[in-house]
Amino acid sequence: MKDYTGIITTFGCIAEHLGHSFSGEIHYLIGRALQDAGLAEPYPYVLQELRPDEVDGFMRTHAFRGINVTIPYKQTVMPYLDELTDIAREIGAVNTIVNRNGRLIGHNTDFYGMNVLLSLADIQIEDKKVLIFGTGGTSKTATAVAKHGGAREILKFSRKAQEGSLTYDKLSDHFDAEIIINTTPVGMYPNDEESPLPEGISLRDFSSLCGVLDAIYHPLRTELVSEALRLGIPATGGLPMLVAQAVAATERFLEREIPTDIVRTVTAAIEAQKQSIVLVGMPASGKTTVGRLLAERLQMPLIDTDEEITRLARATPAEIIRARGESAFREIEAQVICDVIAPQSGVIIATGGGAILRDDNVRRLKRNGKLVFLDRSLDSLETTYDRPLSSDREALRRRYEERYPIYCAVADLHLSIQDGETPETTADRVLSSI
């Protein structure tokens, strides 16, 4: 039998797959914040993937001081526990286990995390009709949160008919729902093109919708959250919930109270690490130059969409447009953004001037990024031969008039570049505004 005693000797997280987990970084930052506040020393935290047949051997060792548990083991571990908190018992799922002198005590700090998520998104659940997608451990947490929050009606949906839930083909009977909570992995990287909503149904169909929560945190904004935000509906992804439950778990690990502002501090730090800065604007507006400066100052990689297209297509954008036309180039550009660029997080992206012409490009770039419009006046833009769509002043003017309202509409941050402003100053302004 495999020896599991040396896997996690202090604190850590177990799951079947942890390749894209943020938990290690979050607990490192919590430890640093506690040290800065003079409350505790940083603590070791180990990510450990376990196959289903390895869970039994690991749980029987009792070799850890405290662990977090995530998909798919939040219910699997429960038979090994000596004690459950009231919330964990009510929910029927555990995400935190503390070893107290050989006794394993199961907690559910996801309950606290989801309440924090609601609070930060300013979504009120009291007296609302709530739809919950999924029936797993996080779904049970969402149900408990909705119940304790005073929801008027709570309905669960799943792909297969089972006791206590409806199938998605019944969703159209509940377009009067006011809150939607996704607890499924649908929309999680690398399948971030997906939405838990069935084909043919949009958030537009929910006439009374006033809040959308998605427990997924990678990407930062799932397709479901992005659709809600496009419609002006308050919505949030699961990163604040992940951080809040980690802080609550640490309180139990270390047996000490942690100030609530650490949740905001750590969430902001993780967002800064994971969120990309996407520079958009007309050709010759300085996106690549400013991008290089930002990449250097933030110690982040720079991705230039035109350079990436050249590398993969073995031809420059100008060569592609001259040989095959603009339409063919836009297809290549969209494919590169979808497959190579948009899935990246924590990078600086300098886009081609027309990347924003396709809604899908904008939607994908916003999943992990903030779009910054570098707005340089038409008179200050230069024409060059290597830009065939704006190679003379008249062509440049037409492109400018066509694209300017789109840049304004899609930008999360609009920076007007003053005549004579240096790239260094522009980079400083981006950093101070993000």
Catalytic positions, written as ranges = 74
Q: Which DSSP string corresponds to 189-208? A: TTSTT--SSPTT--GGG-TT
What SS3 string covers 322-376? Answer: HHHCHHHHHHHHHHHHHHHHCCCCCCEEECCCCHHHCHHHHHHHHHHEEEEEEEE
Cis peptide bond N-terminal to 196, omega within 30: no
Separation CA 54–CA 61 (nearest Å)? 11
Cβ(420)–Cβ(286) below 8 Å: no
Helix H or strand E segment including 212: strand 211-214
Q: Give the residue from 204, 75, 56 showing the smallest Cα distance to 139.
A: 75
User: CA-based diameter of the chain, in Å?
Assistant: 78
Separation CA 201–CA 297 (nearest Å)? 44
Phi-psi region of 38 (alpha: psi -120 to 50; beta: other; left: phi over 0): left
The separation between CA 54 and the C-alpha centre of its own chain, rounded to angstroms, equals 30
Both tokens assigned to 419:
């005549």
Q: Write the DSSP symbol of residue 124.
A: -
Both tokens assigned to 4:
């599991």
What SS3 string covers 221-287? Answer: CCHHHHHHHHCCCCEECCHHHHHHHHHHHHHHHHCCCCCCHHHHHHHHHHHHHHCEEEEECCCCCCH
**Nearest 5°: CA angle at 250, between 28 and 117?**
90
Q: At what angle do helices 110-120 and 137-148 cross, to 10 degrees?
A: 60
The separation between CA 176 and the C-alpha centre of its own chain, rounded to angstroms, equals 27
Q: At what angle do helices 23-36 and 239-254 cross, to 10 degrees?
A: 60
Q: Write the DSSP symbol of residue 39.
A: S
